[in-house]
Structure 1
C-alpha cells in the first residue's frame, strides 16, 4: 500500500487547508487575509463561547513589538529569537511596515544592527516568513519547542545569533499549545542555554478570569485536534523559574507597561498574563 502523503504545489499536505490552524485563526481574528473556511468555522465557534477572544488576540499581537522595544532600549539587546512567531501582521502602506510591527521592524527601530530568528512549527508560517525576509539580518526556522534541544542546536540559530552576547527570547502565546511537561522542559532549556544578560518575554493564556469560557475554548480546540492548555497564575509563575522579572512583574498582558500602546482593547479582555524575566 502506498502511504505517501500527497502534497499540493505549495509543498503542504493536500488536506492542509481543510484543517484549522492556530496561526490562521489568529490572523482571521485580527483582520488579516491568510485564512480558510476551516479556520473561520472554528473561529466562529470560539467567539460564541468567548466574545472577547478578538480583543485577547489583538492585545497579545500588539504586545510583541512593545516588549521588543523595551528589551532593546532598556537592556540593550540586539538579538531576538521569536518562538511561535505566527503569520505576519497586516502591511500598513502609509507607515511602510507591518502593523503592529514585526519583531525585526521593532528591533531595528532601536538598534539598526539587530538580528532576529523567527521560529514556528506551522509550514505555512515558515514559508511565508522566509519569503518576507529579503536581505534583512533575519532567518526563519521550522521547528517545534517540544523538541527544544534540537531547536536550540539548529544551524540557522547559530549562524544568525552570537551566543557570546545577550539574546532575548519571545515566547508569546507559545506555552499554552503544549502540555505541562513540554512547557516546563522548554523554559528550563532556554534558561540553561541563554547567556548572561539575556531575557525571556512571555505571554500566557489563563483560566483565572473566566474559567468556564476558557474550558469551552479548550473543548472546541480539542474537537479540532488542537491541544490548548491555558493555566492559572501560580502555574505560569512556576514556569518563569528563579530569574528576575522586570517591573511590573507578571501581570495581565494589557497592563504590562501599557502607557505607550495606543488604542489597546480593555485590559479586562487580556485573559492572559505577561512578564519579562532576565538572566543574572
Structure 2
C-alpha cells in the first residue's frame, strides 16, 4: 500500500496506525492475488508460505472464484440484494460489490474489516459508489458489528441478507470460539438469509497425506509471523454453519461448488485444503 504522499487524493485518518514492519492478513492476501497494496514484509510472508505451498497464489484465486460464483448465484438466482461481507480485506478485483451490482445495480454491500488501512483505502476506492460502504469493526464481536450505525443505516437488518465469511474464520482461534461467533450472527439473521463461507481444511483421516501438508502450511504461516491461520477438520467447519441448512452440493472443495466448467488441470495439493459452502436460514 502506498502512503498518502504517493496518493495525495486519499485521506488516511490519524487513527489509521500504519506499521510497514508487521505483516497483516489483508495485505498478505493481496500479495497472493498479485495486488499492489502490500509491503515487502507481506511479500516475505507470502514467499515463506510458498516454500511449503508454491501454488498458494492459485488458492487465493480459487477462493475468489468461489466468491464470484456464490454472489452471482445469490444475486441472480435467489434474488438477494443485501450483502454483509466480514473480514473483507482490501477491495481487490472481482469483489462482492462488483459481482452483485453487475447483476443488480441496486444491491447494497457493506464491507467490514478491523484493519484501519484497509478501511481508509476501501473508502477512497468506493467514494462514488452510493450502494457500498466500508466499516471498521471486528468480526469476532457480532453485537458491535450488527449495531454499528453505518451498517444499520445502509442495510435493512430486519429482512433477508447474505453474510459473507470468505477466508475469515480460519484466522479466528479456538480460544476466540468461532462457533459462538457464528451462532450470534445466525441468531440475528432474519429467516431467508444466507451465509457463504470458505475455510482452510485439515482432511485428517479422510486423506492423511493432504493432512500432513495442511499441518506444514499451518506451521509455516505461524513461523512467518502472521500469528493466525488454522486448518480445521470437516466436522469443525460444519459446526460453523450452526442453525443453517447447507445447499447442494454441501461443504466441498472450492472448485467443486457449482464449477463454471470442467477442470482444465489437476488440482495443486494446496488447492485441496479449503472447503466452502452456502447455507440458508429457514
With the shorter chain as reference, the TM-score category is 0.7 to 0.9
How much has 1:260 moved relative to structure 2? 5.4
- In the TM superposition, what are the counterparts of 1:86-97 in structure 2 within 5 Å? 86-89=89-92
Tell me, yes or no, if structure 1 residue 106 matches structure 2 residue 99.
Answer: yes
Change (3 A) 1:195 1:159: same
Q: Is residue 52 of structure 1 aligned with residue 45 of structure 2? A: no
Query: Aligned runs of 1:137-216 on 2, under 5 Å?
Result: 137-180=131-174, 181-208=176-203, 210-216=210-216
Number of residue pairs aligned between Structure 1 and Structure 2:
263
Change (3 A) 1:168 1:264: farther
Unpaired runs of 5+ residues, structure 2, are: 6-11
> 1:255–1:267: 8 Å Cα contact kept in structure 2?
no
Q: Residue 226 of structure 1 corresponds to which residue in structure 2? A: 227
How many angstroms apart in 2 are the aligned matches of 1:263 and 1:28?
A: 25
1-side partners of 2:153 and 2:118: how far apart? 21
| Aligned alpha-carbon RMSD (Å) | 2.3
Deviation at 1:262, TM superposition (A): 9.2
In the alignment, which residue of structure 1 is the partner of 2:8?
Answer: none
CA distance in 2, matches of 1:154, 1:265: 44
So what's the TM-score if we normalise by structure 1?
A: 0.87
Flag structure 1 segments of 5+ consecutive residues without an equivalent.
1-7, 90-97
Which stretch shows the higher mean deviation, 210-219 or 154-163?
A: 210-219
Please give the per-residue CA displacement for 1:170-215, whole angstroms capped at 9, x wherever unaligned.
Answer: 1000100011243112210111111111000000111116223322
Pair 1:121–1:156, CA change in 2 (3 A): same
TM-score relative to the length of structure 2: 0.86
